[in-house]
Structure 1
Amino acid sequence: MSQSTKQIIAVVPAAGIGSRMGAEVPKQYLALNEQTILGHTLDCLLTHTEISAVIIALNPEDKYFSALPQATHPKLITVTGGNERADSVLAALQHADESSWVLVHDAARPCLSHLDIDKLIASTAVFPQGSILAAPVRDTMKRSNDSGEICHTVCRDKLWHALTPQYFPAKQLKDNLEAALAAEALITDEASAMEWAGIKPGIISGRADNIKVTHPDDLQLAGLFLKNLSRQGK
């Protein structure tokens, strides 16, 4: 099956509460340039022509999502998420056709561009096992000891910051996530589940402005990036 005929589904784990933001609402519902962080994220995915559906995993006590203008979009499917990211992704994958490919994207990465999605989708020609967006490490990296002192400088050659989306065949991702969790493996993202299974995902260099909003200072930066993306039409 050629890439152009594969069904592509986006999965958004959004069941977290984002406590590091210190806000009264989960961070994905904080205001950003006249709508919510999650609203921007969903807009990018829902308007991409090659994505046939967007499955979002929500906290069972979520009381904010239904108020979003995107909540009634015909391409959107909601499911109940779990305590951990992997649990939410698995809940979403239960509603994905096993023959499809899935783009798993963080709810709090609102600055995703269609061009980066295009690059990731096209990457199966080189990485049929799947791939992730990533940004090369540019800063000097230090490793510390338990006392907070520098032990040594880490070589940054071939070091990458893992971003999202992460793009894999739905059945393989589901099987590997389930097996890794059953083995109590440390799973921090979808790629780590594939790596645990012996698969080596490809790396696609993505835009550095595809930041995750984690701390309050990130909001202003994300707002600037979104305005720039809008001007560039991306």
Structure 2
Amino acid sequence: MNKYIAIVPAAGIGSRMQADRPKQYLLLQSKTILEHTVERLLSHPQIEQVVVAISATDDYFATTTLASNSRVIQVLGGKERSDSVLNALQYLHAQNYSGQVLVHDAARPNIDLGDISALIEAACQHPTGAILASRVKDTMKRSDGDSTIIETVSRVNLWHALTPQMFDAVALRLALHSAVDQNQVITDEASAMELIGEAPMIVEGRADNIKVTQPEDFSLMGFYLSQSSKGKA
């Protein structure tokens, strides 16, 4: 069974949560969101290490159980998500790692292990790589930048991009470098690969793989994690 490394960019401040600390360090069921996320990743049999990119001013990581976990590597993050991922990839490059990596949001602790397995299988068979995504179910509207609708957008073939996203570590590092050189804003790894002409595969994942972004997400995530705990009991 092949083993892989996951990267978790965790240098953001999560200002939309309006909390007294970055959202990845908010407590859910006596653990930080980041601990839930990384532990879930490490519970998958094909993920051997997780590289976590944190802010230079982070005072919280050292207080978590992750700081003493030998399977968790800490690197310095950057201003943007893409900077943090690139720093992690630079670390892996210095360690002569040239396999594939899974990049996962720090604030998505409810990732399903079956979805990870499906992603790994697809990414290993596809020439570019793959991402988890969920189908858009709601009617989509485009506004004029304010609050006026200018069109209804067909949801046919529209997807919500999720994580993890899995690509060859060397190819992704070069793609992110290219994006930086072009001053392109990268919000996920697939978009960096798309910029260099690649077309990643979509793997349909569970819609409850939500990202904690706003206060209402926090309560919903607590519910999802409690249900997940009951399922394991």
User: Which band: TM-score by shorter chain?
Assistant: over 0.9
Deviation digits for residues 41-73 of structure 1, max 9, x if unmatched? 011112222112110000001011111112211
Match of 1:177 in 2: 176
- Report % sequence identity: 51
How far did residue 227 of structure 1 move?
1.7
Match of 1:100 in 2: 99
Cα pair 1:10 1:51 within 8 Å, conserved: yes
DSSP-derived class of the 1:95 partner: helix
Deviation digits for residues 169-211 of structure 1, max 9, x if unmatched? 0000001100111111231110000000000000000110000
Deviation digits for residues 101-149 of structure 1, max 9, x if unmatched? 1000000111112111111111135423100000000000001113411
With structure 2 as the length reference, what TM-score do the two structures score? Answer: 0.95
Q: Deviating runs (4+, > 6 A) in structure 1?
A: none
Pair 1:11 & 2:7 matched: yes
170-179 or 122-131: which moved more? 122-131
Q: Which runs of 5+ in 2 are unaligned?
A: none
With structure 1 as the length reference, what TM-score do the two structures score? Answer: 0.94
Cα pair 2:123 2:167 within 8 Å, conserved: no
Deviation digits for residues 149-177 of structure 1, max 9, x if unmatched? 11111000000000000000000000110
Q: Which runs of 5+ in 1 are unaligned?
A: none
Match of 1:148 in 2: 147
156-165 or 185-194: which moved more? 185-194
Match of 1:68 in 2: 64
Query: Partners in 2 of 1:47 and 1:147 — Cα distance?
Result: 44
Pair 1:26 & 2:22 matched: yes
Match of 1:57 in 2: 53
Match of 1:160 in 2: 159
Matched letter for residue 107 of structure 1: A
Query: Partners in 1 of 2:70 and 2:124 — Cα distance?
Result: 30
Match of 1:110 in 2: 109
Matched letter for residue 11 of structure 2: A
Query: Partners in 1 of 2:56 and 2:146 — Cα distance?
Result: 40
How far did residue 233 of structure 1 move?
3.4
Cα pair 1:173 1:190 within 8 Å, conserved: yes
Cα pair 1:116 1:206 within 8 Å, conserved: yes
Cα pair 1:12 1:89 within 8 Å, conserved: yes
Matched letter for residue 53 of structure 1: Q
Cα pair 1:116 1:207 within 8 Å, conserved: yes
